[in-house]
Amino acid sequence: MRLFFALDPDEPTRAALAAAAQTARSSAPDAAWTAGPSLHITLVFVGNTAPERLAGLEHTAREVATRHGALRLTMGGGGVFGEPPRVLWLGVDGGPPLGALQANLAAALRGLGIEVERRAFTPHLTLARARRGGGDDHLLHAARTLPGHLGAFTARDLVLYRTERTPSAATYAVVSRMRLGGLSDPET
């Protein structure tokens, strides 16, 4: 199983993301666009995992989730990863609480022997990918169409996903959800 931990946007946010992506799509029509239900903010990529390790992963992640409250996340601005551009992304800002959740989760998973990337965490939503390995310069043009501020939402669950590959695309299935267990709600 290929696994990763993420945060999900709520439904109104998914609708706003779909509208922004639709506008950007005209600038990069050959890109592979992420379907609305597949949009997420990856916190930690776990990778290929034996099924017998699943219970330990869930237990560890649940312990981390209970130490962090719901997160108020704002979205806006975009960019590309790669030279030439291979990924179009929309920025996500959750301030220090988002960084702390990601760092604590990564450290806990390393404690289980999971090899977690050590590069800096860049919170984002992947909107599109180049279909060709050589990249797609049109993604840079699409990034310029993304709004500076798209809105905000509250993430209340840490989600463990399994990647399912099909000939045409990757899809993501929820394995489990862990409620973020802080005492305060950032909307109040």
Query: What is the mean pLDDT of the segment spanning 58-62?
Result: 95
Q: What per-residue confidence (pLDDT) applies to 183?
A: 43
DSSP 78-94: EEEETTTT-EEEEEEE-
Query: What is the mean pLDDT of the segment spanning 120-142?
Result: 91
Q: Of residues 180 and 37, which shows the higher confidence score? A: 180
CATH fold, domain 2-179, is Cyclic Phosphodiesterase; Chain: A, (3.90.1140)
The 3-state DSSP class for residue 173 equals: strand
Lateral strand order in the sheet of 41-48 = 41-48, 2-7, 157-165, 170-179
Indicate the pLDDT class of residue 182, thresholds 50, 70 and 90: low
Share of the chain above pLDDT 90, in %: 74
Report DSSP state, residue 35. Answer: P
Domain residue ranges of the chain, discontinuous segments joined by +:
2-179
The 3-state DSSP class for residue 29 equals: coil
Share of the chain above pLDDT 70, in %: 96
Contacts of 59 (CB under 8 A, 6+ apart): none
Q: What is the pLDDT of residues 78-89, one digit of tens each?
A: 999 999 999 999
pTM of the model: 0.90
For 141, the token pair is: 């043009």
Asked if residue 186 has pLDDT above 70, the reply is: no
Contact 87, 81 (CB under 8 A): yes
Query: What is the mean pLDDT of the segment spanning 43-58?
Result: 94
Query: What is the mean pLDDT of the segment spanning 82-101?
Result: 95
Asked if residue 168 has pLDDT above 80, the reply is: no
Asked if residue 161 has pLDDT above 90, the reply is: yes
Q: What per-residue confidence (pLDDT) applies to 185?
A: 43
Q: What per-residue confidence (pLDDT) applies to 134?
A: 83
Long-range Cβ contacts of 105-112 (<8 Å, 24+ apart): 105/5, 105/43, 105/44, 105/61, 105/64, 105/158, 106/43, 106/44, 108/60, 108/61, 108/63, 108/64, 109/44, 109/46, 109/57, 109/60, 109/61, 111/60, 112/53, 112/56, 112/57, 112/60
**Residue position matching structure tokens 């029509």:** 29
Residue 23 to residues 37, 141, 150, Cα–Cα distance (Å): 18, 11, 13
Asked if residue 125 has pLDDT above 80, the reply is: yes
